[in-house]
Structure 1
Amino acid sequence: MVATLCDNELLTVFIARRHELVKYARAIVGDQALAEDIVQDAYFRLERAQQVKLDAKLDEPVGYIFRIVRNLAIDGRRRIGRENALIHGDGTASAEMVAEDTPDPEEKAIARGELRLLEKALAELPEKSRIALEMHRFGGCKYAEIAQRLDVSIGTAHSLVVDAIEHCKLFLAKGR
């Protein structure tokens, strides 16, 4: 089939098939936005191809449009693959770009110093206050459990924990 299309007729054919073209491109690249871009680029290429033809005839314009979309989609998919390979590679490039989760030596030294201070603060606490704080903060116990274990009321268990926390905060602030 030989078709002679002017720019308006070419645009009409393109618009009529646009939804099909996007769906076709999306099936290849797997991304709606990229498929939309590919179809847009396909139209520009189709326009240029129409301008280059001296006799203004384009054989099978619909098939030609689909072929352009297919080629652009395959190129886009290859580009994405290359980009992913550069970004992810064998894992070493991306691993080098991620900050370490472990603290540096200075942070470790500071944490050890604070831990020693906290141990001293806990040692100064009365036994019930220390046990209440340890059960609450380290054991995840509720005040009712602490109260039952220490044989005190829930309000007293709460006060023991709050007072122990306040003591530790003051102790750390002084930096004894």
Structure 2
Amino acid sequence: MTDVETRHCLYLAHRAALIDYATPILGSREAAEDIVQDAYLRFAPARTRIGAPEQTLAYLYRTVRNLAFDVLKRRKIEQRETGNDTPFWALPREGQTPEQALLFCDQIRIVSDALSALPQEMRVAVEMYRFGDFTLEEVAAHLGISVATAHRHVRTAMVRVAAQLDRS
């Protein structure tokens, strides 16, 4: 019997045990069968002399184990790459009922009316700070007022908007 035939017979005799060995590592019998098949493809060609049958079997088990751990590493990397990097606009939105959409639009109208009723300087300050993501220092520099006055304008405007929302 040639070395290739010996390896083939050894593989066939221990194939089920190799699958049972790889299944708990991978968590799937199908994946374990794939790994055992890959191990055989690496094991079958007689490129190197392995030695005694016990050493040959140990080499086959080690090959299965290493390939299984390679699959686990690959899965972990793929999960890390596809993890929570989904942009917010690609995530599914929760469905709103027509009533919720109408209430939201009504609240937006109330906020818009409350902002338009504010004095010009106060409205600019709150729009820059709350919607434009400017700092109070930048708002104060733009309007030519102190930081404390800019803060007072923003706070007063937000209190008025909240009061308008509470009334309706």
Class of the TM-score when normalised by the shorter of the 2 chains:
0.3 to 0.5
Please, what TM-score do these two structures have when normalized by structure 1? Answer: 0.46
Work out which structure has the larger RCO, using CA pairs closer than 8 Å and 6 or more positions apart in sequence. 1
